[in-house]
Chains A and B, each alone.
Chain A
Amino acid sequence: MKTYDIIVIGGGMMGTSCAYYLTQEGLKVALIERGDIAGGTVSHTDGYIGASEKQPGVDSMQGAESMKLFDEMRKTFDYDFEYATNENDDPIGFVYFCDSEFEFEKAKEQVAKNQALGIEQYAVDPYILQQLEPNCAKDLTGGMWVPKDGAVCPFRVAFGFVEEAKKTGLLDVFTRTEVLDIKQDPNTKAVQGVVTDKGEFAAPKVVNAAGCWAPFIGAMVGMEVPIEPRFGQLTVSEKTGKITQNRLALEYGYYLTKFFQDGERPIDPLVKAYNVCLNITSDITGNTVVGGCRLFRGFSIKSEYRIISAVAQRGIRYYPMLKDFNCIRSFAGIRPFSLDHLPIVSDVEEVPGFYMACGHEGDGITLGPITGKLISQYATGKPLQFELAKELAWSRWQGRDIAAYKKKEEENSKALKAVEEAYLASLEK
């Protein structure tokens, strides 16, 4: 039987990052993945990284900490992961559009809170907004600018982690290998290794970095993991050249709907039915990628044509010139949505040797590095990268009524479904 210091389950952003930072601590690591490296959510997403898409507090702090690690990685990695920078080698930022006084007020509140935490972001008036994004609509209320947010190529980051970790000689990667069970000491519940379809692996430590599929791994050690897949879909245009000047432009409603805080947006029933909010970027390839939505569709990653129409409509609202371009492709993916909107990153007291690195919803690419770093610190007993990281621990779910969270989530999901059904019924008439 193969023996390791630690086994990481899942070859996505979290798993590869954990593998990298754990090997940097001198641990012998087995990375076990059911499919291929970067084959799940990592290859069904865009690659925006930043602190601004997060709620002020531990959420935005972990984003800011992770951005620092990205900055380190782009200097030390031999593997290029297409970190987007301008001529001065600075990241190219994010711009948010506010389409109502309500949204602009919310944005100003967020800016004030994050500035207090030392995170650089600004509320901007319509005039400055036009300087930042000359192609955007001319009738917007205001906006928010985050100069340090940027983008990477997501699967290249995952490959980069693996390649850099392999240099230490401490990493073995097992793809096409499915974990079937986790072996535990019958008395102490401490983990002893994993059983896979390709044989058994022994290790005193196991990391659950299985993203949307983390609940299945958690169940193997008797944990109920409160993570559900949350569906998103993107469309890709033909070559457009540079429509957006910043790395990413979003409507502020994107942030608000993520946390179910949106007010009544002045939107079409179609856009409402599919919970669509604009995020748009002109990619380095010269194509423009437009999204996105947040829906519950189980584990399905099938594109839906009505969402393409809704996304196009939302894109044209903010960038009227988009109406002259064709869509060439659309793809969908699922985000591992944690029911309290925070990832779970820590050890697990009741299962000694078991670690959680999952539930990052739409922030997995941004939070990859900091999560791997934190897990390496938990696994070696070192002090955590930043104090507030304790709030990400699994222990916060101890004593919480997961069923109540699930019920609330189901209600949210039902409410979204009802809007969609009402819309579809209106089409029949």
Chain B
Amino acid sequence: MLSKDLLVVGAGPAGLATAIQAAKNGVKDITVVDLNMKPGGQLFKQIHKFFGSHEHRAGIRGMDTGAAMLEEAQSLGVDIWLNSACVGFYDDKVACIEQGQPDGTKKIVFMKPKTIAICTGGQENVVRFTGWTTPGVMGAGAAQTMVNVNKVQPGKKIVMLGTGNVGLIVSYQLMQSGCDVVCLVEALPGINGYGVHASKISRAGVPIYTKHTIKEVKGNGPNGRVSEVTIVEIDPKFNHIPGTEKTFEADTVTLAAGLKPVSDLVKLQDIDLVFNGPFGGWVPVHNEKMQSTCKGIYVAGDTTGVEEANTALEEGNVAGVSIAEELGCITAAEADAKRKEIWERLDGLRMGPFGERRAAAKKEVMEQFPGVRA
């Protein structure tokens, strides 16, 4: 049984920020685990430049932010285990980790850390239609990883379901990689993401079908792969309108129907959860220190409600400061001052028409915090 001061699960922006901030404030023995081969979570897929203000890394590409954070964490002596999944989380806060070995095998390791930060991010929602399990139907995030990280095209002719920012940006990146995006399909009456992204798609001549959904996918391609996609118009109650079907030849369908928080690990402990619609599902209740209701367990990033990378990163900063406080590395007054500064930036990120909704959801989750249990 290994003992550590801090175990961070997930090496995305929230997890890396937690580890960096804790280390900067004096926490010594820190391990970050991530089941991927590369750390950085979603950041490494984000080849585009961020919006917003200077302190929020505007104009910097997500992948560059990821690389900088990784370097910083390593220079602070944070131990990062890749290809390693936290597969169990038991009583007395014992974590079971399947640790990736240099030779590609895995080893089971038990760890009893003093504090734990759960930064497991979000996962894509699936949409069910006839043929939804056909090879070639995948999440937009999977397509984004293939094209931006692994540099392979997920397919030649692609139908994208969903016109949120993920749907729009990934469509554009697929086009940049040389894929033929056949069309975008959106159930709502209007486009869901930023106009600036949507107009890039429209300018390229790709049609966006609003008030439509996918009716059926046929898998007559090689090895049963997607061969054609039928879309259909829907009424305001989302019922198919017969006779409005359109069929396209395509070999790939990507789904960008929103994300939900990954709360599997959270559910293995006595942590209170609450359902929050704008945040995508069940999230752990937490306070302004990013403490869960279970002593010693902190949460940050999309696990606490699906938002975006900068917010996740700042929440990680808050968690890192609070962990340093719990472990006695800094005083309560020092921690309060640091948190106040970070929260000002967080509040700044949750402004504007899209941000206000998230600010309200965050407030709602935090208002339900009943206190920390031993």
Per-position 1/0 for A291-317, Cβ under 8 A of B: 000000000001111000000000000
Interface centre among A302, A303, A304, A305 (most CB of B within 10 A): A305
Interfacial chain B residues near A304, Cβ < 8 Å: 90-91
User: What's the minimum C-beta distance from B89 to chain A, rounded to whole angstroms?
Assistant: 10
Give the distance in Å from the alpha carbon of A95 to the alpha carbon of B110 in the complex.
Answer: 35
Give the distance in Å from the alpha carbon of A302 to the alpha carbon of B268 in the complex.
Answer: 8
User: What's the minimum C-beta distance from B345 to chain A, rounded to whole angstroms?
Assistant: 38
Which residue of A has the minimal Cβ distance to B96? Answer: A305
Interfacial chain A residues near B94, Cβ < 8 Å: 305
User: What's the minimum C-beta distance from B27 to chain A, rounded to whole angstroms?
Assistant: 26
Interfacial chain A residues near B96, Cβ < 8 Å: 305
Chain A residues touching B, majority SS: loop
User: What's the minimum C-beta distance from B297 to chain A, rounded to whole angstroms?
Assistant: 15
Partner of B110, one of A302, A303, A305: A305
Give the distance in Å from the alpha carbon of A302 to the alpha carbon of B90 in the complex.
Answer: 8
Give the distance in Å from the alpha carbon of A359 to the alpha carbon of B94 in the complex.
Answer: 33
Size of the chain A interface, CB-CB below 8 angstroms: 5
Residue B224 lies at the interface, judged by CB distance under 8 Å to chain A:
no
User: What's the minimum C-beta distance from B248 to chain A, rounded to whole angstroms?
Assistant: 36
Give the distance in Å from the alpha carbon of A304 to the alpha carbon of B91 in the complex.
Answer: 8
Give the distance in Å from the alpha carbon of A330 to the alpha carbon of B108 in the complex.
Answer: 15
Residue B88 lies at the interface, judged by CB distance under 8 Å to chain A:
yes
Total A-B pairs in contact (CB under 8 Å)? 13
User: What's the minimum C-beta distance from A421 to chain B, rounded to whole angstroms?
Assistant: 15
Interfacial chain B residues near A302, Cβ < 8 Å: 90-91, 268
Give the distance in Å from the alpha carbon of A424 to the alpha carbon of B332 in the complex.
Answer: 37
Give the distance in Å from the alpha carbon of A14 to the alpha carbon of B127 in the complex.
Answer: 37
User: What's the minimum C-beta distance from A68 to chain B, rounded to whole angstroms?
Assistant: 40
Chain B residues touching A, majority SS: strand
Give the distance in Å from the alpha carbon of A304 to the alpha carbon of B94 in the complex.
Answer: 10
- Among residues 254 to 309 in chain A, which have CB atoms less than 8 Å away from a CB atom of chain B? 302-305
- Among residues 93 to 133 in chain B, which have CB atoms less than 8 Å away from a CB atom of chain A? 94, 96, 110
Per-position 1/0 for A125-137, Cβ under 8 A of B: 0000000000000
User: What's the minimum C-beta distance from A148 to chain B, rounded to whole angstroms?
Assistant: 38
- Among residues 298 to 348 in chain A, which have CB atoms less than 8 Å away from a CB atom of chain B? 302-305, 330
User: What's the minimum C-beta distance from B35 to chain A, rounded to whole angstroms?
Assistant: 14
User: What's the minimum C-beta distance from A317 to chain B, rounded to whole angstroms?
Assistant: 20
Give the distance in Å from the alpha carbon of A330 to the alpha carbon of B87 in the complex.
Answer: 11
- Among residues 259 to 287 in chain B, which have CB atoms less than 8 Å away from a CB atom of chain A? 268
Give the distance in Å from the alpha carbon of A303 to the alpha carbon of B268 in the complex.
Answer: 9
User: What's the minimum C-beta distance from B154 to chain A, rounded to whole angstroms?
Assistant: 27
User: What's the minimum C-beta distance from B272 to chain A, rounded to whole angstroms?
Assistant: 16
User: What's the minimum C-beta distance from B93 to chain A, rounded to whole angstroms?
Assistant: 12
Give the distance in Å from the alpha carbon of A305 to the alpha carbon of B268 in the complex.
Answer: 13
Interfacial chain B residues near A330, Cβ < 8 Å: 88
User: What's the minimum C-beta distance from A354 to chain B, rounded to whole angstroms?
Assistant: 36
- Among residues 240 to 268 in chain B, which have CB atoms less than 8 Å away from a CB atom of chain A? 268
User: What's the minimum C-beta distance from A303 to chain B, rounded to whole angstroms?
Assistant: 7
User: What's the minimum C-beta distance from B216 to chain A, rounded to whole angstroms?
Assistant: 27
Give the distance in Å from the alpha carbon of A303 to the alpha carbon of B87 in the complex.
Answer: 12
Give the distance in Å from the alpha carbon of A304 to the alpha carbon of B96 in the complex.
Answer: 11
Give the distance in Å from the alpha carbon of A396 to the alpha carbon of B91 in the complex.
Answer: 40
Give the distance in Å from the alpha carbon of A302 to the alpha carbon of B267 in the complex.
Answer: 11
Interfacial chain A residues near B90, Cβ < 8 Å: 302-305
Interfacial chain B residues near A303, Cβ < 8 Å: 88, 90
User: What's the minimum C-beta distance from A304 to chain B, rounded to whole angstroms?
Assistant: 6
User: What's the minimum C-beta distance from B268 to chain A, rounded to whole angstroms?
Assistant: 8
Per-position 1/0 for B70-90, Cβ under 8 A of A: 000000000000000000101
Give the distance in Å from the alpha carbon of A418 to the alpha carbon of B343 in the complex.
Answer: 50
Interfacial chain A residues near B91, Cβ < 8 Å: 302, 304
Interfacial chain A residues near B110, Cβ < 8 Å: 305
Per-position 1/0 for B200-226, Cβ under 8 A of A: 000000000000000000000000000
Give the distance in Å from the alpha carbon of A303 to the alpha carbon of B88 in the complex.
Answer: 9
Interfacial chain A residues near B88, Cβ < 8 Å: 303, 305, 330
User: What's the minimum C-beta distance from A116 to chain B, rounded to whole angstroms?
Assistant: 46
Interfacial chain A residues near B268, Cβ < 8 Å: 302
User: What's the minimum C-beta distance from A105 to chain B, rounded to whole angstroms?
Assistant: 39
Which residue of A has the minimal Cβ distance to B88? Answer: A305
User: What's the minimum C-beta distance from A341 to chain B, rounded to whole angstroms?
Assistant: 29
Give the distance in Å from the alpha carbon of A302 to the alpha carbon of B92 in the complex.
Answer: 12
User: What's the minimum C-beta distance from B270 to chain A, rounded to whole angstroms?
Assistant: 9
Give the distance in Å from the alpha carbon of A302 to the alpha carbon of B91 in the complex.
Answer: 8
Give the distance in Å from the alpha carbon of A160 to the alpha carbon of B268 in the complex.
Answer: 31
Which residue of B has the minimal Cβ distance to A330? Answer: B88
Give the distance in Å from the alpha carbon of A303 to the alpha carbon of B89 in the complex.
Answer: 9
Give the distance in Å from the alpha carbon of A10 to the alpha carbon of B268 in the complex.
Answer: 26
User: What's the minimum C-beta distance from B158 to chain A, rounded to whole angstroms?
Assistant: 32
User: What's the minimum C-beta distance from B116 to chain A, rounded to whole angstroms?
Assistant: 16
User: What's the minimum C-beta distance from A328 to chain B, rounded to whole angstroms?
Assistant: 9
Per-position 1/0 for B268-312, Cβ under 8 A of A: 100000000000000000000000000000000000000000000
User: What's the minimum C-beta distance from A312 to chain B, rounded to whole angstroms?
Assistant: 10
Give the distance in Å from the alpha carbon of A376 to the alpha carbon of B268 in the complex.
Answer: 40
Give the distance in Å from the alpha carbon of A48 to the alpha carbon of B293 in the complex.
Answer: 39
Give the distance in Å from the alpha carbon of A304 to the alpha carbon of B90 in the complex.
Answer: 6
User: What's the minimum C-beta distance from A150 to chain B, rounded to whole angstroms?
Assistant: 31
Give the distance in Å from the alpha carbon of A302 to the alpha carbon of B96 in the complex.
Answer: 14
Which residue of B has the minimal Cβ distance to A300? Answer: B91
Give the distance in Å from the alpha carbon of A370 to the alpha carbon of B361 in the complex.
Answer: 52
Which residue of A has the minimal Cβ distance to B95? Answer: A305
Interface centre among B88, B96, B110 (most CB of A within 10 A): B88
User: What's the minimum C-beta distance from A66 to chain B, rounded to whole angstroms?
Assistant: 35
What are 13 residue pairs bridging A and B, where the CB atoms are less than 8 Å apart in the complex? A302-B90, A302-B91, A302-B268, A303-B88, A303-B90, A304-B90, A304-B91, A305-B88, A305-B90, A305-B94, A305-B96, A305-B110, A330-B88
10 further contact pairs, Cβ within 8 A, besides A304-B91, A305-B90, A305-B94: A302-B90, A302-B91, A302-B268, A303-B88, A303-B90, A304-B90, A305-B88, A305-B96, A305-B110, A330-B88
Nearest 7 interchain pairs by C-beta: A305-B90, A305-B96, A305-B88, A302-B91, A304-B90, A305-B94, A305-B110
